[in-house]
Chains A and B, each alone.
Chain A
Amino acid sequence: SQQGEEDPQALSIQEGENATMNCSYKTSINNLQWYRQNSGRGLVHLILIRSNEREKHSGRLRVTLDTSKKSSSLLITASRAADTASYFCATDGMGAQKLVFGQGTRLTINP
């Protein structure tokens, strides 16, 4: 079963704008991870945020985690055409010892 649910399912913005994707989950977690998947390729790890962290940055990426609302957001600032991809959140549930992926957000950056 899918633990994380991303919102929106699809997002189309202009190059240079910021993109925000959200992820909601159902059970308590150890950590939450975000992955990117370019068309026809494998997934690439972007960032991991632990349950005791509230915000994390990596380059143009900013991830927030609100464990009280069981939700996370991924912000990509100053988007580029190369950011066009599908983005997935994955949760490591307490006691589960495995990652459960959401359905993903398909992001399109228009030049």
Chain B
Amino acid sequence: EAGVAQSPRYKIIEKRQSVAFWCNPISGHATLYWYQQILGQGPKLLIQFQNNGVVDDSQLPKDRFSAERLKGVDSTLKIQPAKLEDSAVYLCASSLVLTQETQYFGPGTRLLVL
């Protein structure tokens, strides 16, 4: 069974530029999560989808971050414009159903904003 795929693995941009991350969850997983992990901290949930609907985006900075999961499968997370404090690893995870059972994580995208 293929795992959660993410791309790109690394990205370096200058502040005020835009960037997009892509995630393809495990086949059949209805729930998809985007986390932000700042160096030395635990992952922080940004947004959670159930199929193509948003379940929780309470910690998503909506003035600059957006995410979509149009067909209920893969998802994109966008930052526009980026700030220095957005430097972090962006992790995508998926789970079978919305019951907070095991989440399966992708390798993450490491973003550096200069």
A residues at B contact (CB < 8 Å) = 2, 4, 30-31, 33, 35, 40-45, 48, 88, 90, 92, 97-104
Q: 15 additional contacts, CB 8 Å, given A33-B102, A90-B42, A98-B56?
A: A35-B105, A42-B91, A42-B93, A43-B105, A92-B100, A97-B100, A98-B48, A98-B100, A99-B45, A99-B100, A101-B35, A101-B42, A101-B44, A103-B40, A103-B42
Q: State whether the Cβ of B77 lies closer than 8 Å to any Cβ in chain A.
A: no
Give the nearest-CB partner of B3 in chain A.
A42
Which residue in A31, A42, A48 is a CB contact (below 8 Å) of B105? A42
Closest 9 CB pairs of A and B: A101-B42, A42-B105, A92-B100, A43-B105, A45-B102, A42-B107, A101-B43, A88-B42, A103-B42
Within the complex, what minimum Cβ distance (angstroms) separates A98 from chain B?
A: 6
Q: State whether the Cβ of B65 lies closer than 8 Å to any Cβ in chain A.
A: no
Q: State whether the Cβ of B103 lies closer than 8 Å to any Cβ in chain A.
A: yes
Complex Cα distance, B42 from A43, in Å, reads 10
B48 neighbours in A (Cβ, 8 Å): 98
Complex Cα distance, B49 from A97, in Å, reads 12
Q: State whether the Cβ of B84 lies closer than 8 Å to any Cβ in chain A.
A: no
Please classify how large the interface on chain B is, using the bins under 10, 10 to 19, 20 to 34, 35 or more.
20 to 34
Complex Cα distance, B41 from A2, in Å, reads 10
Q: Are B103 and A99 in contact (CB under 8 A)?
A: yes
Q: State whether the Cβ of B106 lies closer than 8 Å to any Cβ in chain A.
A: yes
Q: List 11 A-B contacts (CB under 8 A).
A: A33-B102, A35-B105, A43-B105, A44-B105, A45-B102, A90-B42, A97-B56, A98-B55, A98-B100, A101-B43, A103-B41
Q: Are A30 and B107 in contact (CB under 8 A)?
A: no
B107 neighbours in A (Cβ, 8 Å): 41-42
Q: Are A48 and B101 in contact (CB under 8 A)?
A: yes
Complex Cα distance, B43 from A4, in Å, reads 12
Instruction: Mark each residue of chain B from 11 to 50: 1 if its CB lies under 8 Å from any CB of chain A, else 0.
Output: 0000000000000000000000001000011111100100
